[in-house]
Every structure is written in C-alpha cells, then in structure tokens.
Amino acid sequence: MSISGFTAAGFEPVREAFAANFTEGLEHGAAFAAFLGDELIVDLRGGIADRASDTPWADHTIAPVYSATKPVAALVIATLVERGKLDYDAPVADYWPEFAASGKAAITIAEALSHQAGVPGFPDKIDPGLWLDPPALCVELAKLKPMWGRGEGSGYHPLTWGYIVGELVRRVSKRSLGVILREDICQPLGIDFWIGLPESEHGRVAQVLKPKTAAHFPHDNEATRVAFLTPWAAANRSTTEWRKSEIPSANGHGSAVALARLYSAYALEGRIGETRIIAPVTWDELTRERVSGEDRILPGRVAFGAGVMRNLPLIYGPNPATLCHSGWGGSGAFGDPDTGLSGGYIMNRQGTHLLEDVRRSRLVDALYSCL
C-alpha cells in the first residue's frame, strides 16, 4: 500500500507503525500528523479514500472525525467565555430559558460540557430528520427530563452535547459556532477543518467503511440505549445534508494535520503557532477536571474538562495531563502540555470501540518512543 508524507529525523518509527497498520490489513485509508511545539514532525497518509478502491488518499483528502470534534467546538466556547459572552459557572438556562424545563434549571454550562446534564439522547421516538435541523431539535431537547440527578456524575452525550453548545452560541452571538471557528481560527491560520462543511468541499471527503461487526458498548443500561441504540439516536451520517449541518459534537471534517494543529491549542496552553486563541487562565478553566469516575456509557473511569477529555485511561500516551478525545470508529487527537506534543489521526475503515483503537494507539506509542 502506497504511503506518502514525511517524518522528521528521529521519528522514523512512526512511519514504520503507520505502514504496519496497512500491512496487517487494519486500514483502508488513513492519515496521521503530529506537531512538537510549532514544528510539524509527522505528516503521513496512505491507502484508499473511497470504497471502490481506486482513489488514493491524497494530501487534500479530509475525513469526518466524529466526536474528536468536541474539543474543537470547546475552544470556540472558551473564546466566548473569555469575551464575557458566556460563563462556565452560569446555568445553561440563563442563556437558553427553555432549557430549564423538567428539572434542568440549575445545570451549568460547565456541567453540560462535561456530560453531566443527564440528557444523552431521546428516550421516546423522534423524527431522525430533526438531527439535521438544530433549532427544531433543540426545542425537543429542552423539554427532556434528566436521566440522573445533578452532581451524580457523567453519562456521555454523543450527539446532544453539540446541540447544547450550538444553541448557546446562537443565543449569544450573531455568528454560529461553525462560522466563528472558520472566521476567527481556521481561515486566518490556514487550518483545513470545518464544522458545517460547504458542499464545494464534499468531493474530497473520504468514504467511510462501516465495521462488519456490532460496536462494543460496555454497559447494558438505559443511558446507553438512549445515547446510541435507538433507531432515532442519530441521522444518516453519509448524506450531503449531514455534512453541511453544524453538529459540533460529531461532524467536524478535516485533515490529520488540521486536527493536530487545532489540538496544539491544548498542548501549548491556548496557543496555535504564534496566535493566542485563549489566555492561559481561560485554558485552565477549559481543561481543569470537572468530573471523573465511572461513566454511565463509556468504558472505565474517565475525566472531563469543559468539553475535552483528560487522559485518565492513558490511551493517548503516558502523561495524565494530556487533553484528548476519540471519535466514532477510531479517529482521535490529543494535546500534551507536558511535552508540547499534539497529534491527529483520521481514517475511513471504522472500528468498533468507543475510546481505544489499536491502530491509533500504535501510532501514539511510536510517537512517544521517539521523544
């Protein structure tokens, strides 16, 4: 399988690990990138971008990163906190009064961002098409009763998280979250990442190959059913409409370099290159632990900041202070403030685990072995 790109001197084992994923038949198409401080040290791509196996993965190929979108959206929320538009400690209902319904009046923005709001999905049937109409979906979301009490820990919100943050932005800004990301961060810095992908860019999106076996869900409970397993738990994720919609929890699209570059804001305490995205004090508020322990939906013990995971299971290298997030099927990214290292992995052959992926772990482990 053809592999292109480069590794900086001393990081050749990362290329070897990337190649091994292909030779062992684990990949169809993929890309991996990493920055050390402001230096791009890994930029690899290989395999096939479409299902027909005739379009090579190119340097302009992008892919959906699913829930690895969340910390990118959280950066946008942090910019609004820094500008005084939002307050992590204020109730969501201060900005979105309808959200107070059914016992949610006291839930704060930080609690919602750390998956403590108790609304991981819809217990009763909704039209799946609502997921492609965020204002209409938010009307129904605001009515939900929490599935657990405030202060009783986390339960991962795979999709609803993004509608909460998107609605908060709509309530306090004339620009949507995706537009703020594009105009204030990605365009000025030349970062090829989008929440709400223009149709003009759809032709370079890698086609996803779904797994042949069922996804692995560690818990057999109502929260997991509501979050993932009902027929209405998500919209069709392969349509033009889905790509164009702004879903800050799940449909970010970009290159591996772009994903790694955005997560360098977590490695460099709010800075991307020479541009400061948020002040160090805001970075502290964004990244500090808001909740930890056994999650109702995700496997094992987890810890969340205000929209980003902390590396509690140590699946993104050896440092607990690393900020990270995995995406559905195996994509993922991290920023390590202890080393200044950030990385992003995208692919189109999906796996079945919610957090870990053997392909990504092999790359991250190889990367750290070179430091």
Q: Per-residue DSSP letters for 47-66?
A: EBSSTTS-SB--TT-BEEEE
The three-point CA angle 191-197-200 to 5° equals 95
Cα 351 from Cα 359, distance rounded (Å): 9
Residue 212 pLDDT > 90: no
Residue 324, pLDDT score: 98
Each residue of 13-35: pLDDT tens digit? 999 999 999 999 999 999 999 99
Determine what percent of the chain is predicted with pLDDT higher than 90.
Answer: 95
Judge contact between 165 and 73, C-beta under 8 A: yes
| Partners of 36 in beta bridges | 39, 341
Domains, the chain, in order of start with CATH, read: 3-78+175-369 (3.40.710.10)
* Mean pLDDT, rounded, for 359-368: 98
* Mean pLDDT, rounded, for 277-283: 98
Cα 233 from Cα 335, distance rounded (Å): 30
Closest CA to 313 of 351, 247, 244, 364: 364
Cα 165 from Cα 114, distance rounded (Å): 11
Cα 206 from Cα 55, distance rounded (Å): 9
Closest CA to 22 of 68, 65, 57, 67: 57
Backbone angles phi, psi at 116, to 5 degrees: -110, 5
Alpha helices per DSSP H over the chain: 12-23, 70-82, 109-113, 134-143, 160-172, 177-180, 187-189, 222-224, 240-244, 256-267, 280-287, 358-369
* Mean pLDDT, rounded, for 68-95: 98
Beta strand pairing call for 309-310 and 301-304? antiparallel
Residue 1 pLDDT > 80: no
Residue 251, pLDDT score: 96
Residue 338, pLDDT score: 98
